[in-house]
Structure formats: structure tokens, C-alpha cells
Amino acid sequence: MMGCIFCRIIRREAPAHIVYEDEHTLAFLDINPCSPGHTLIIPKLHAQRLEDLPEEEAIALFRTLHRLIEPIQRAVGADSTTIGINNGPESGQEVPHIHIHVIPRFRGDGGGIIQGVARLWRRPTRGEMERIARRIRNLVGT
Ligand code: 5GP
Ligand code: ZN
């Protein structure tokens, strides 16, 4: 897409520290890293959310993620990573071109866990959990 910063990086119209590229995906260092080696992996096809991507592009994205985790960790001496997607504006997504964050983690780095991104005001009841699960099952279909 024309004005999209990540599409501009793909077209080499904007600079980036690129670490990997293939037919379907590109990976480069985040300009404002949470930790050394913080990398973004993107599909070359412009789409805002994971569910907007054709399945094959989503699979290609995950293949690149799988391929890059160890090299990223080794390059910065990390033993773990936090991997996440801000999927849509309400989740805090700022760049409207889907990207997977790969954030190297270090003992005592002061960071949090994925489950810290939202806080329920109360625990759902068993009945509510069952209703939600049933609704999701029905919507997924098979
Ligand atoms: P999100 O959309 O997931 O909330 O965050 C977007 C991420 O992209 C941020 O971590 C931000 O630092 C990074 N970012 C935004 N613009 C650029 C850019 O022009 N180049 C690079 N390398 N990273 C960017
Ligand atoms: Zn784009």
C-alpha cells in the first residue's frame, strides 16, 4: 500500500536493518527496540490483521518466524523470546501492516508476560466460560 511505512521498507524506499527476506516475507530490526535484537517479521502482502491474510501468507509468516528465532536469540545471547502480534488498533497496533514482534528476553530484564496485556475486572463464571467456548465453536464451524 502506497503510504504504508512497512510497504516502503519492502520496496527499499525507507531504510531498515533487514535480517531476512524471501518471496513472501521480510524481517528487520524494530527502530525502537524493547531489547537488543527486537525484530519485526512481516508479510510482503499488505494486510492489517493476521485474519486478513490469505492462509498461505500466514503460513509463510510462521515459517519465517520458526526459522529466525534461534539466530535472533544467538546473535544477542538471549535464551528466550517473547513473540507477539498487536492485532488491531484496540490491542495497541500502530503500524497497520501486520507484523510479528520477536523480543529477545534476558533474566532480570524487567519485562512482563503476554498475559499482562489485558486485565479482566472479574473472573468469568463457569457458565459464562462454557457459553463463550460454545459460541466460538459454533462460529469456527468445521
Ligand atoms: P505496533 O504497531 O505493533 O504497536 O508497533 C509498531 C512497531 O514498529 C513499534 O515497535 C515501532 O518501534 C516499529 N516501527 C515503527 N515505524 C518503524 C520504522 O519506520 N522502521 C522500523 N524498523 N520499525 C518501525
Ligand atoms: Zn503495508
Q: Using CA atoms, how far apart are residues 65 and 42, in angstroms rounded to an integer?
A: 10
Residue 141: its pLDDT value, please? 86
> Rg of the Cα trace of the chain?
17
Up-side HSE of residue 37: CA atoms within 13 Å toward CB? 21
Q: In which residue ranges of the chain is pLDDT below 70?
A: 142
Name residue, grid cell 513472501: 24
Amino acid at residue number 126: R
C-alpha cell at 85: 502480534
Q: Where would I find the H helices in 24-125?
A: 55-76
List, in order, residues 6 or more apart from 76 with CB less than 8 Å away.
Answer: 35, 36, 37, 104
The domain 5-108 having CATH identifier 3.30.70.20: the answer here is no
Q: Which of 101, 98, 84 is nearest to 42 (CA)?
A: 98
pLDDT of residue 57: 98
Cα-to-centroid distance, 7 and ligand 2 (Å): 4
Ligand 1 pocket mutation pick from 7, 31, 83, 90 by most atoms within 8 angstroms of CB: 31
Residue-level pLDDT at 91:
96
Domain boundaries, the chain: 5-108
**pLDDT score, position 142:** 65
CB 122 within 8 A of CB 58: no
Q: Which ligand is nearest to the CA of 16?
A: 1
Is 97 annotated in the active site? no
Q: Spell out which residues have Cβ within 5 A of ligand 2, the ion.
A: 1, 4, 6-7, 46, 97
